[in-house]
Amino acid sequence: MTHRLTLHSLRRIYEHPATLPLDEADRERVAASCGLVDRIVAKGDAAYGINTGFGLLAQTRIPNEDLETLQRNLLLSHAAGVGDPLPDAVVRLTLALKINSLARGYSGISLAVVDALNQLLTHEVYPLIPSQGSVGASGDLAPLAHMSAVLLGVGKVRHRGHTLSAAQGLQAAGLAPMRLRPKEGLALINGTQVSTALALAGLFAAEDVFAAAMVAGAMSVDALKGSDAPFDDRIHQVRGQPGQIDVAKAYRALLHGSQIRASHLACTRVQDPYSFRCQPQVMGACLDLIRHCARTLVIEANAVTDNPLLFLDSGEVLSGGNFHAEPVAFAADTLALAFAEIGSLSERRVAVLVDPKMSGLPAFLVQNSGLNSGFMIAQVTAAALVSENKTLAAPASVDSIPTSANQEDHVSMATHAARRLHRMADNAAAVIGIELLAAAQGIDFHRPARSSNTLEQIHGVIRNTVAHYDADRYFSPDIETAQSWVSGARFVEPAAHLLPSRAT
C-alpha cells in the first residue's frame, strides 16, 4: 500500500467494499515507529500523548503502570458524539483513510491495531459513528473515538445491513477486544479522516450533479430552441478560463447534429437568457472549483494528521497541528458554492421553459393548461430547493468556537461543513431531475424534429421510465425517479472526462 491513494481509488472505496493491506515497507515503518514509543517509555522522557494527559492536561505526567488505562480512558471519554449514524460508505472511507495515514509510520501505533482496522474494513464491519460532535480541530475526536472504541469491544457496528454490538462485530471480523499500548488511542482519534471522508463524498456527489446538470442544460437549449453560438470555442479562448473552455467544448459535443437546432437557424431571436447562454461561464467556474477541491482532498486523504508525530531519522517527537482541518473546511465550503450555483442555474432554465412568453412552449409544459397545471409546482419545488441550498452555502469555516478550556481556541468546523454537502447534493439532484423532465417535455413538443444523437439517447432513457406529461397526474414519483438518475450517476458519461475522480 506504499502507493498514494488516488481519487479513482478513493471513489471505489466509497462505492464498494474494500481492503487496504499493508506491504512490507509499510509494516517496517509502522513497527519502527512503535518501537520508538517503547524506547521513550523505557527511558522515562515526558512526551505528549505518550505519558502525559491531553489538551489542557498535557502537563500532567502519567505513571507507566497507568499508560494502558490512559489510552482506554481517552477513547471512552471522547466517544461523546450525537446524531444519526454516518452512512456505511462514509465509515468505510474513514477506515481506509485512517489505515492509510497510520501506515505512513509517523504515529507510533502497533501493527496489531492497523491490521485490526483493516480486518474491520475487509469484513465490512463498520463502526456506528454519530454524525455530530466534531469541530474539525484536534482532529475529529468524537467520531474517531466512536470508530476506535469498537476495537475495545465497546459500542455498535453495522455489518451487511444489520446493527450488532461491538463484541459481535469483532467476532465477525475474526478479532478479539484489544488492549491499547502507549500513544495508540491518541493516534486513532487524532486526525481529519471523518471530515475528509465526508468532504470526499460531497466531491463525488458534486461531480455527478455537475455532469447531470450539463446534460439537462444541453437538453434545455434544444427545448427552448436556443442557440449554440454562445458555445463557440473562440468566445471562450479569448477569456482563457480552463473550466469554461472545457465545458463549452462538452456542450458543443452534446448538441452536435441536432435537427432541432438546424430547424431554427434563421429565427429572429438575438440572444437567449443568461441561464442558457452563460452555461459555459457558470458551469466552467463550478468545474474549476470542483477540480481545486479535488486536489486539496486527495492530498488530505494521503496526509498524516494526528499529533504528536514521530520522526524516526532523528528520534524526535514533535507536537504540531496537522489535525486542524482548515483545508478540508475550505474545500467543503467551496463545494457548497458549486452545488448552490449548479442548482440555481438549472432552476432558472426550468422557469424559462414553463413560461410561454419566454419559451414559446405550452404554458407549464402541458396541453390544455388551465385544466392542467403541468410543471407549475415542480418549478416551485425547484425554487424552494435552490433557496434552501443558498442558505446551506453560507460558509462554515468562518465560524470558530473555543474548546478544551481555551487550549483549542480556533477550530475549523470542517466536519459539519462537509456533512451538509450531502443535503445540498440531494436538493440539487432533485432540481436537476426536474429540469431533465421539463427539457424532455419541451423536446417532445418539437417532434418530428430530433435532438442530437447523444441527447436523443438520454431522452429515450427518460421516456422508457417516465411517460410524456399529457395531463395532470400524481407527479412526485416522476420527480423521485429523475432525482435518483442524478444521484445514481445515470447520465454522467457525456461529462465523465471532465471530472477529477472519473477522468481516464
Q: Which active-site residues does the annotation give? A: 48
Among 153, 137, 136, smallest CA distance to 75 is for 153
Sheet containing 156-159: order of strands: 125-127, 156-159, 162-165
DSSP letters spanning 47-96: -TTTSB--GGGTT-B--GGGHHHHHHHHHHHH---EEEEPPHHHHHHHHH
- Burial 451-471, CB ≥16 within 10 A → b, else e: bbebbbebbeebeeebeebee
**Spatial CB neighbours of 102, under 8 Å, sequence gap ≥ 6:** 30, 109, 113, 114, 117, 187
Residues 394, 177: Cα–Cα separation, whole Å = 43
Longest dimension (CA), the chain: 87
**Spatial CB neighbours of 418, under 8 Å, sequence gap ≥ 6:** 195, 196, 198, 199, 201, 202, 328, 329, 332
DSSP letters spanning 408-428: B-----HHHHHHHHHHHHHHH
According to DSSP, the residues that pair with 310 across neighbouring strands are 317
202-205's contacts with Cβ under 8 Å and 24+ in sequence apart are 202/332, 202/335, 202/418, 202/421, 202/422, 202/424, 202/425, 203/290, 203/293, 203/294, 203/297, 203/331, 203/335, 203/500, 203/501, 204/11, 204/14, 204/501, 205/421, 205/422, 205/425, 205/429, 205/487
| DSSP, res 189 | H
CA distances from 174 to 55, 85, 121, 128, 488 (A): 35, 24, 12, 18, 34
CA-based R_g, the chain, Å: 26
**For residue 386, which amino acid is it?**
V
| Lookup: cell for 36 | 520508538
**For residue 370, which amino acid is it?**
G
